[in-house]
Structure 1
Amino acid sequence: MKKSLFTMEHARQLTEDTYELVLSGDTSAITAPGQFVNIELPGKFLRRPISICNWTEDALMLLVKVVGEGTKELVRCVPGTELDVLSGLGNGFDMNLAGDHPVLAGGGIGIAPLYGLAQRMLERGQNPTIALGFRTGKDAFYVEEFAALGCRLLIATEDGSLGVKGFVTDCIQAVPECDYVLSCGPLPMLKAVHSLPQLKDGQFSFEARMGCGFGACMGCTVPTKDGYKRVCKDGPILYKEEIVW
């Protein structure tokens, strides 16, 4: 974990409530896709944990969904705004366990860490299939960016306005040769993906309300087969075999 100042470079609106933010700063503490940052906002008691979409040596890219006053203030920050950021939090995805042809499954804002993950898998010679789920076509974002990576890309929307009509699980079932999953999204989606019999193993990124964000307050614990674990410190990535629903 590292505490440092980042500078807002730009904020780009993607959908009615989703934004792309680029912040410049020291990203040396970030070691794996799937980690997150915790951002301090003026006047707010708790920091806001945000999953990392992608990063370079001196820049951080975040996809942010506005869900309250804190995230609303964050996406409204003008270029040049300095933000106090804790970076390098969480364990991240382990790409070594995923094999050559895993499926990356994301729902809604949960697709964010899968972008940087897919990019780095391709650099390592892995060939992931990407399955993304949204409520409607209007809610979809980063589809062109994922497509530009060159991976097989499958899209599902609940109303059928983009891709197939259904859920991300329908996309996964369309590629039965994929038996390892790396997934991030809302809890019902994770549970549904976890239950697919074709998936022999996988890694699941969990969300939880956080107090400190680095393991001190125990406010984000979830039950596992090995006892309670902290989403912020022991996760956010949990492994298929240890998850208890």
Structure 2
Amino acid sequence: MAHYQGIMTIISKKELVKDVYEMVLEGESASYVTTPGQFINIKINDSLQPYLRRPMSICDYDKNHITIIFRVVGEGTKILSEKQIGDQLDCLTGLGNGFDDLDYQNAVVIGGGLGVPPMYKLTKDLLAKGVKVTAILGFNTKDAVFYQKEFEKLCPTFIATMDGSLGDKGTVVDVLKKHEIDMDVYYACGPEKMLDALVLECPDKGYLSFEARMGCGFGACMGCSCKVKTKPYKRICVEGPVLHSSEVIVNG
């Protein structure tokens, strides 16, 4: 896996729902992203604060552009949300192992909250290979829902909200069971509790993308290591963020 450090320019920015932003970056660094599910590590400021880069999942990409979607949750993401079109960002790209096993007939892509973005490019790549795709997108409430129309343009899409204000009431697992969706494989990204629930329901059919606090983003600091069944640990930034469901240790 080759990573690349370069400057990217913000060419588009918009707020999708409250505190959730879509940002399009342009630059040579985009050409190092080769697989849906990889991530980008962004230096927020030239100053010492905040010190660590911020890892962001990638929603879409081509050779010159990367689209990210992020929520303002702290100082770093607040500063990023205040950047303007034309501003430049120091970025590490080509990071992580993504969703590279796409040879199936029927696939379900499952995103929970900020786990929705990487499912978008994955869906497009699956469809390009002739795979039949169904999407399940989970949110707490209808006010948090984003990218519904974008997914509906690609494939059949189910929305799950915990309060039932849009789509099916409950979790993405509830939707999966209720609609008895035919699948050979599922791909998922979202909160750890959601991923754990999917592994318990479907232990052998899935690929799951995990989020973790990271320092370097390319395996040097060991800060994002997690225990798995197949070896003592894996570094989420290098040997992840995508893990097969059969090697995931469910917490609790």
Provide the residue aligned with 2:120 in structure 1. 115
1:7-26 CA-to-partner distances (Å, cap 9, x unmatched) read 01121101111110001112
Provide the residue aligned with 1:7 in structure 2. 9
Provide the residue aligned with 1:82 in structure 2. 88
Structure 1 regions of 5+ residues with no counterpart? none
Query: CA–CA distance in 1 between the matches of 2:180 and 2:60?
Result: 26
Counterpart of 1:227 (choices 221, 232, 244) is 232
- What amino acid does structure 1 have at the position aligned with 2:244? Y
- Deviation of 1:96 after TM superposition, in Å, equals 2.9
The SS at the match of 1:119 is helix
Provide the residue aligned with 2:57 in structure 1. 51
Conservation of the 8 A alpha-carbon contact between 2:110 and 2:172: yes
Structure 2 regions of 5+ residues with no counterpart? none
| TM-score where L is the length of structure 2 | 0.93
1:148-192 CA-to-partner distances (Å, cap 9, x unmatched) read 11x111111011111011111112112342242100000000001
Provide the residue aligned with 2:145 in structure 1. 140
Identity among equivalent pairs (%): 45
Counterpart of 2:42 (choices 20, 39, 42) is 39
Query: CA–CA distance in 1 between the matches of 2:172 and 2:184?
Result: 15
- What amino acid does structure 2 have at the position aligned with 1:196? E
Provide the residue aligned with 2:163 in structure 1. 159
Conservation of the 8 A alpha-carbon contact between 2:59 and 2:69: yes
The SS at the match of 2:116 is helix
Counterpart of 1:95 (choices 82, 95, 101) is 101
After TM superposition, the runs of 4+ consecutive aligned structure 1 residues lying more than 6 A away are: none
- What amino acid does structure 1 have at the position aligned with 2:246? E
- Deviation of 1:28 after TM superposition, in Å, equals 1.4
Bigger shift: 199-208 or 233-242?
199-208
Tell me, yes or no, if structure 1 residue 213 matches structure 2 residue 217.
yes
- Deviation of 1:200 after TM superposition, in Å, equals 3.5
Provide the residue aligned with 2:77 in structure 1. 71
| TM-score where L is the length of structure 1 | 0.96
| Aligned length in residues | 242
Conservation of the 8 A alpha-carbon contact between 1:222 and 1:228: yes
Conservation of the 8 A alpha-carbon contact between 1:169 and 1:193: yes
Matches within 5 A, 1:188-207: 188-197=193-202, 200-207=204-211
Tell me, yes or no, if structure 1 residue 243 matches structure 2 residue 248.
yes
Conservation of the 8 A alpha-carbon contact between 1:95 and 1:121: no
